[in-house]
Amino acid sequence: MVRQSLIEDLGKIIKKEQIMLNEPMSAHTTFRVGGPAELLVQPKLEELADLTAFFKERNLPYTVIGNGSNLLVSDNGIKGAVIELGRAASEIRVEGTRIYAEAGAMLSKTASTAASFGLTGMEFASGIPGTIGGAVVMNAGAYGGEMSRIIKEVTVLTPEGTKKKLSPSELKFGYRSSCIAENHYIVMSAVLELEKGDRDEIAAYMEELKKRRVEKQPLEYPSAGSTFKRPEGYFAGKLIMDAGLRGYSIGGAAVSEKHCGFVINKGGATASEIAALMEHIRNVVKERFEVTLEAEVRKLGEFK
């Protein structure tokens, strides 16, 4: 239970309209499921260091999220505080062939901004429903591109509350991974290095990628994108399909018939049903093919 005195003290750091109590996380995740966060705050970047210090002083655990596009939040919600880096921390600035983007900036908007300035290299990210911060954390990628190839520098907030600039080599990028989570850093902003290109060609390629997504992905349903990471030497979606799980459902959670790599909320799903379906998929694929699928979706809160 978050005490009123804590809220009053918190109001000295951020405005009241940036503070929400018992906020349903279903409104903050692309799966559209999840119970309430005891406390959810939406700070500006310049408020972040003071905010995290405030929570640490009061021994209040906190979780940092972006657009909630890669999260599965428990039906019981999240204890403590949720720091959502979104619209209040979403500035995008273009300087020559470089783009400065705050952590809460949407990838799609950043990619379209790049295109409008005739900058190429970020087209792959135009349809990824996440933020710059989340994309850095997991080295997001699609259609042969990934963040590690366009990042020049990332500014993070360390657990000690200091700002630190990291180069691509220091970020230790891997497949859907970086050093951010293991070091408990919070991404504040990123500098992207792109190249000059032809505006019409960039727009045409982005339109082509959009058509591919519409044709192959279940964009009409809430989901967290690709549910599992690509196992080495395989494709998760094909393994799931070959295991006979196309369309398999538990309650309102289902394996997409359009693309078996997606678990979707076909209507009224709970987080528990989605988690149970993910576990069933893992078990069946392991039994059939001796391949262990690793979730790309991150769970928050308590699950049975």
Count other C-beta atoms under 10 Å from residue 203's C-beta. 15
Asked if residue 174 and residue 63 are part of one domain, the reply reads no
Q: Does 98 participate in catalysis according to the annotation?
A: no
Residue 16, both tokens: 């009241």
Q: Does 69 participate in catalysis according to the annotation?
A: no
The whole-number pLDDT of residue 1 equals: 62
| Residue whose token pair is 């905010």 | 51
* % of the chain exceeding 70 in pLDDT: 100
Asked if residue 266 and residue 188 are part of one domain, the reply reads no
Considering 58, 98, 149, 176, which one is annotated as catalytic?
176
Asked if residue 43 and residue 110 are part of one domain, the reply reads no
Asked if residue 76 and residue 150 are part of one domain, the reply reads no
Tell me the pLDDT tens digit for each residue of 132-158: 999 999 999 999 999 999 999 999 999
| Residue whose token pair is 């009053």 | 8
Residue 236's domain is classified under what CATH number?
3.90.78.10
Tell me the pLDDT tens digit for each residue of 263-300: 999 999 999 999 999 999 999 999 999 999 999 999 99
Select from 149, 184, 215 the last residue of a domain: 215
Largest CA distance in the chain: 57
- Average pLDDT, integer, range 6-17: 93
Asked if residue 205 and residue 173 are part of one domain, the reply reads yes
Asked if residue 113 and residue 129 are part of one domain, the reply reads yes
Considering 84, 123, 146, 296, which one is annotated as catalytic?
296
Select from 43, 68, 87 the last residue of a domain: 87
d(CA 127, CA 135): 12
Number of domains in the chain: 3
Residue 12's domain is classified under what CATH number?
3.30.43.10
Asked if residue 211 and residue 125 are part of one domain, the reply reads yes
**Could you give the 3-state DSSP secondary structure of residue 57?**
helix
Q: Does 176 participate in catalysis according to the annotation?
A: yes
- Average pLDDT, integer, range 216-232: 95
Amino acid at 265: N
**Which is nearest to 99 in space by CA: 130, 120, 82, 76?**
120
Tell me the pLDDT tens digit for each residue of 239-263: 999 999 999 999 999 999 999 999 9
Angle between helices 199-216 and 107-116 in degrees, nearest 10: 150
Find residue 82's DSSP bridge partners: 40, 63
CB 122 within 8 A of CB 114: yes
132-143 residues labelled b (16+ CB within 10 A) or e (exposed): bbbbbbbbbbbb
pTM score of the predicted model: 0.93
- Average pLDDT, integer, range 8-24: 94
Considering 90, 126, 223, 226, which one is annotated as catalytic?
226
Residue 125's domain is classified under what CATH number?
3.30.465.10
The whole-number pLDDT of residue 4 equals: 82
Domain that holds residue 255: 218-300
**Residue 132 vs residues 4, 68, 185: alpha-carbon distances, Å:** 33, 12, 14
d(CA 107, CA 198): 20
Select from 65, 87, 109 the last residue of a domain: 87
Find residue 223's DSSP bridge partners: 264
Q: Does the pLDDT value for residue 2 go beyond 80?
A: no
d(CA 245, CA 175): 26
Asked if residue 180 and residue 225 are part of one domain, the reply reads no
| Residue whose token pair is 């398999």 | 248
Asked if residue 167 and residue 184 are part of one domain, the reply reads yes
Q: Does the pLDDT value for residue 223 go beyond 70?
A: yes
Asked if residue 208 and residue 99 are part of one domain, the reply reads yes
Amino acid at 260: C
Asked if residue 150 and residue 47 are part of one domain, the reply reads no
DSSP 106: B
| Residue whose token pair is 């991404």 | 187
Sheet architecture: strand order including 36-41: 19-24, 36-41, 78-84, 62-65
10 Å CB burial of residue 191 (0-12, 13-18, 19+) is middle
DSSP 21: E
Asked if residue 122 and residue 44 are part of one domain, the reply reads no
